[in-house]
Structure 1
Amino acid sequence: MKLLTRTNRYYLGLSATLFVLGTGLLYEGLQHALAHEVDEQLQQQRTYLTARIRRAGALPTIALPQELTIDGPTRSESLRDTVIFDPVEREPVPFRVISFPVVVRSQVHWLTLRKSLLETEDVLKVVMGVMLAVMTLLFSSLLLLNRWLSRWLWAPFRRTLQALRGFQLQQPESLALPATPIDEFSELNQAVAQLTQRVAADYRALKEFTENAAHETQTPLAIMQARLEQLVQDPELPERTLGAVQDVYRAARRLSRLHQALTLLSKIENRQFNAGVPVSLDGVVREKLRQLQDFLEDKDIEPQVTLLTPVSVTMHPALAESLVGNLLQNAVNHNVRGGLLRVNLSPAALEITNTGPELHSDPMLLLGRFRKHNAASDSPGLGLSIAEQICTYYGFSLSYAYAPAGHLHTLRVAF
Structure 2
Amino acid sequence: MKLLNHTTKYFALLLIVLISIWAVIFYFAMIDEVYDSLDDGLENQKELIIDAVKVNPDLLQDTDFGVNNYTIKRVDYIGQNKFKDSYRDTLMYMQNEDEYEPIRLLEGAFEQDGKSYRIKLITSMVEEDDQIENLFTYLVGLYLALVLSIVVLNNLVLKKVWKPFYSLIDKLKGFRIEKDEPIKQEPTAIDEFNLLNQSVERLTEKSRDSYIAQKQFIENAAHELQTPLAIAINKLELLLEKNELTGHQTEEVGGVLDNLTLLTRLNKSLLLLSKIDNRQYLEEEQVDFNGLIDNVAADFLDFATHKNMQISVVSNAKVRYTMNADLAIIMITNLIKNAILHGEEGKEIAIEIEENKVIIKNYGQDKPLEIDQLFTRFKKVSADSRSTGLGLAISKAIADKYNLQLKYSFAQQHIFTVIFNTKG
- Is 1:257 matched with 2:265? yes
Q: Deviation per CA, 1:95-128: give whole Å up to 9, x if none.
A: 2223446667887765432211149999998888
- Is 1:49 matched with 2:49? yes
Name 1:144's counterpart in structure 2: 152
Name 1:67's counterpart in structure 2: 69
Q: Identity across aligned pairs (percent)?
A: 30
| Deviates further, 136-145 or 105-114 | 105-114
| Deviates further, 267-276 or 377-386 | 267-276
Question: 1:103–1:154: structure 2 CA closer, same or farther, 3 Å change rule?
Answer: closer
Distance 1:361 1:410 in 2: 10
- Which aligned pairs between 1:311-326 and structure 2 lie closer than 5 A? 311-326=319-334
Distance 1:4 1:71 in 2: 70
- Is 1:348 matched with 2:356? yes
Amino acid at match of 2:39: D
Shift of 1:387: 0.8
Question: 1:337–1:121: structure 2 CA closer, same or farther, 3 Å change rule?
Answer: closer
- Which aligned pairs between 1:253-332 and structure 2 lie closer than 5 A? 253-332=261-340
Aligned residue among 365, 387, 411 for 2:373? 365
| Deviates further, 159-168 or 26-35 | 159-168
Shift of 1:140: 3.1
The answer to whether the 8 Å contact 1:86/1:93 transfers is yes
Name 2:414's counterpart in structure 1: 409
Question: 1:260–1:121: structure 2 CA closer, same or farther, 3 Å change rule?
Answer: closer
Question: 1:412–1:120: structure 2 CA closer, same or farther, 3 Å change rule?
Answer: closer
Distance 2:390 2:95 in 1: 99
Distance 2:369 2:289 in 1: 31
Aligned residue for 1:80, secondary structure, equals: strand
Distance 1:366 1:175 in 2: 39
Aligned residue for 2:229, secondary structure, equals: helix
Aligned length, in residue pairs:
409
Name 1:29's counterpart in structure 2: 29
| Deviates further, 382-391 or 303-312 | 303-312
- Is 1:160 matched with 2:162? no
Name 1:246's counterpart in structure 2: 254
Distance 1:61 1:122 in 2: 36
Distance 2:270 2:357 in 1: 26
Shift of 1:321: 0.5
The answer to whether the 8 Å contact 1:57/1:105 transfers is no
Amino acid at match of 2:415: T
Name 1:202's counterpart in structure 2: 210
Aligned residue for 1:97, secondary structure, equals: strand
| Deviates further, 298-307 or 313-322 | 298-307
The answer to whether the 8 Å contact 1:59/1:104 transfers is no
Question: 1:181–1:83: structure 2 CA closer, same or farther, 3 Å change rule?
Answer: same
Distance 2:106 2:220 in 1: 106
Shift of 1:287: 1.6
- Is 1:179 matched with 2:184? no
- Is 1:114 matched with 2:128? no
Amino acid at match of 1:217: L
Aligned residue for 1:197, secondary structure, equals: helix
Distance 1:359 1:188 in 2: 56
Amino acid at match of 2:353: L
Aligned residue for 2:105, secondary structure, equals: strand
Question: 1:124–1:373: structure 2 CA closer, same or farther, 3 Å change rule?
Answer: closer
Name 1:219's counterpart in structure 2: 227
| Deviates further, 48-57 or 19-28 | 48-57
Aligned residue for 2:184, secondary structure, equals: coil
Distance 1:51 1:291 in 2: 124
Q: Deviation per CA, 1:173-220: give whole Å up to 9, x if none.
A: 643222222222212222222222222222222222333333333334
- Is 1:381 matched with 2:383? no
The answer to whether the 8 Å contact 1:398/1:413 transfers is yes
Name 1:8's counterpart in structure 2: 8
Gaps of 5+ in 2: 75-82
The answer to whether the 8 Å contact 1:364/1:400 transfers is no
Question: 1:363–1:127: structure 2 CA closer, same or farther, 3 Å change rule?
Answer: closer
Aligned residue for 2:88, secondary structure, equals: strand
Aligned residue among 193, 204, 207 for 2:201? 193
Amino acid at match of 1:414: I
Question: 1:231–1:178: structure 2 CA closer, same or farther, 3 Å change rule?
Answer: same
| Deviates further, 22-31 or 94-103 | 94-103
Question: 1:27–1:359: structure 2 CA closer, same or farther, 3 Å change rule?
Answer: same
Distance 2:68 2:404 in 1: 88
Amino acid at match of 1:413: V
The answer to whether the 8 Å contact 1:34/1:120 transfers is no
Shift of 1:7: 1.2
Shift of 1:27: 1.8
Aligned residue for 1:180, secondary structure, equals: coil
Distance 1:359 1:377 in 2: 22
Q: CA RMSD in A?
A: 3.4
| Deviates further, 244-253 or 116-125 | 116-125
Distance 2:213 2:270 in 1: 17
Distance 2:406 2:368 in 1: 20
The answer to whether the 8 Å contact 1:93/1:118 transfers is no
| Deviates further, 279-288 or 112-121 | 112-121
